[in-house]
């Protein structure tokens, strides 16, 4: 039987997940801007028409807009929420210019932009460190305890008792590290380095593609090689000092999977149909919350890392796009021309809208909307 959280539960969990993470992201920009004396005119959670808001004593308008799919801060001297420069700031008095974002040194502008993604990574690290400190760090030795007959592992010559050292060039210290690397590579050949009786050796292996369905009916294509661990978990206590180290390691593993997944889609080794958007995030938000608060908070950490990573992509309109412009400015020792910026921002807007439309269609397809529409016709 497939468990399906209700519509209102899903929407509420989505808002509960995205709202705080967007707030954390924009708060990073806000605090760094205030640190450098930049006036923040607007701090918005969501886009579009304002639902409610207030203005603080420093002149910042804090507001919640009706479309909760993101947010922005607008600095003094900005033309819009994408931080495009308003040329009229150059007509201000010297005292007024001191509070304008675009009048600040390049390194300060770069730090203000970078602070948003860093705030998302920091939030995820706090969550993961807290979980590590509270529940410890579970691990299984990376030793093969079982091999499925006829599996890719058996065909590659792997035997019970072999110790896994590396998978696709990535060092392995725990058996749990093997799963995500293999699962992200269905049908894709890679090298595995193992050790047998003290002697290292390498095999080439191609995972079979398995389609699995979770209790909510979501289907996933996963790589399988047919090896099993001993099943004996070792729970290691994590001190307050060690907890951030564990959190950084887990964050690195998640980022590695994200980069691998995107590259596989770009290179054509995985279908673009696997990309998901806001509807998919909302669906998983409801599902994670229905499993319990631990699962939901873990999901928040994953989405926070995802937000930080995506915002660092070199796409105009995103933080990564701004950082690319600043890199060019640093090299040529002058800002990118307004005309070039305008073209880049328009192109970036088109790319983002097209991507949003595509992943939304993917989300609707995963929910069976098109099949339902076809039957209805």
Domain holding 215: CATH number? Answer: 2.30.42.10
Residues 142 and 204 in one domain: yes
Tell me: do 207 and 310 sit in the same domain.
no
Residue 47 counted as domain residue: no
Q: What is the rounded distance in angstroms from the CA atom of residue 312 to the CA atom of residue 356?
A: 17
Question: Where among 236, 257, 292 does a domain terminate?
Answer: 236
Average predicted confidence (pLDDT) for the chain: 86
Indicate if 26 belongs to the active site.
yes
Of 366 and 275, the structure prediction assigns the larger pLDDT to 275
- 326, 109 in Cβ contact below 8 A? yes
Q: pLDDT at residue 118 above 50? A: yes
| H-type alpha helices, 152-225 | 152-156, 178-183
Name the pLDDT band for 11 (thresholds 50, 70, 90).
Answer: confident
Instruction: Domain of residue 325: give its range.
Output: 7-36+104-133+304-376
Sequence-ordered alpha helix ranges (H) in the chain: 7-35, 94-97, 106-135, 152-156, 178-183, 243-266, 278-291, 293-311, 319-332, 338-366, 369-376
Q: Are residues 141 and 232 in the same domain?
A: yes
Looking at 200, 218, 236, which one is the last position of a domain?
236
Query: How many distinct structural domains can be found in the chain?
Result: 2
Task: Please say which residue of 215, 236, 257 terminates a domain.
Answer: 236
Chain segment 146-196, per-residue pLDDT in tens:
999 999 999 999 999 999 999 999 898 888 889 888 988 888 899 999 999
With beta carbons less than 8 A apart as the criterion, state whether 194 and 162 touch. Answer: yes
State the Cα–Cα distance between residues 301 and 370, nearest whole angstrom: 32
Same domain flag for 110 and 228:
no
Give the pLDDT of residue 1: 45
In a domain, 308, yes or no: yes
By the 10 Å C-beta count (0-12 exposed, 13-18 middle, 19+ buried), 354 is classed as exposed
pLDDT of residue 372: 47
Q: What is the DSSP letter of 203?
A: E
Judged against a pLDDT cut of 70, whether residue 201 lies above it is answered with yes
- Cα atoms found within 13 Å of the Cα of residue 164, Cβ hemisphere only: 32
Q: What is the pLDDT of residues 229-268, one digit of tens each?
A: 876 777 788 899 999 999 999 999 889 888 877 777 776 6
């Amino acid at each position: 039987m497939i468990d399906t959280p209700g519509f209102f539960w899903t929407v509420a969990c989505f808002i509960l997940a995205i709202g705080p993470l967007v707030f954390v992201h924009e708060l990073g920009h806000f605090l760094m801007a205030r640190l450098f004396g930049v006036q923040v005119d607007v701090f918005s959670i969501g886009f579009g028409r304002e639902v409610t808001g207030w203005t603080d004593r420093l002149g910042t308008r804090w507001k919640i807009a009706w479309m909760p799919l993101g947010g922005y801060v607008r600095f003094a001297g900005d033309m819009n929420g994408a931080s495009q420069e308003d040329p009229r700031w150059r007509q201000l008095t010297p005292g007024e210019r001191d509070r304008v974002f675009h009048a600040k040194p390049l390194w300060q502008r770069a730090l203000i932009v970078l602070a948003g993604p860093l705030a998302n990574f920091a939030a995820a690290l706090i969550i993961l460190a807290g979980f590590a400190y509270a529940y410890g760090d579970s691990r299984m030795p990376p030793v093969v305890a079982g091999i499925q007959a006829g599996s890719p592992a058996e065909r590659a010559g792997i035997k019970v008792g072999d110790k896994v050292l590396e998978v696709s060039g990535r060092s392995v210290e725990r058996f749990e590290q093997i799963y995500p690397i293999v699962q992200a590579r269905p049908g894709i050949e890679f090298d595995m380095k193992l050790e047998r009786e003290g002697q290292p050796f390498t095999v080439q292996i191609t995972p079979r593609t398995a389609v699995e369905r979770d209790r909510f009916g979501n289907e996933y294509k996963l790589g399988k090689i047919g090896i099993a661990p001993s099943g004996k978990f070792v729970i290691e206590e994590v001190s307050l000092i060690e907890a951030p180290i564990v959190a950084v390691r887990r964050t690195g593993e998640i980022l590695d999977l994200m980069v691998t997944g995107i590259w596989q889609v770009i290179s054509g080794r995985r279908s673009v149909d696997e990309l998901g958007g806001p509807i998919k995030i909302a669906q998983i938000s409801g599902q994670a919350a229905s499993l319990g608060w631990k699962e939901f908070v873990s999901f928040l950490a994953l989405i926070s890392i995802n937000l930080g990573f995506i915002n660092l992509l070199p796409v105009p309109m995103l933080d990564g796009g701004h950082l690319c412009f600043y890199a060019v400015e640093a090299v040529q020792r002058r800002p990118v021309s307004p005309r070039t910026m305008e073209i880049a921002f328009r192109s970036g807007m088109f790319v983002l809208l097209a991507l949003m439309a595509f992943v939304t269609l993917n989300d609707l397809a995963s929910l069976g909307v098109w099949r339902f529409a076809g039957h209805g016709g």
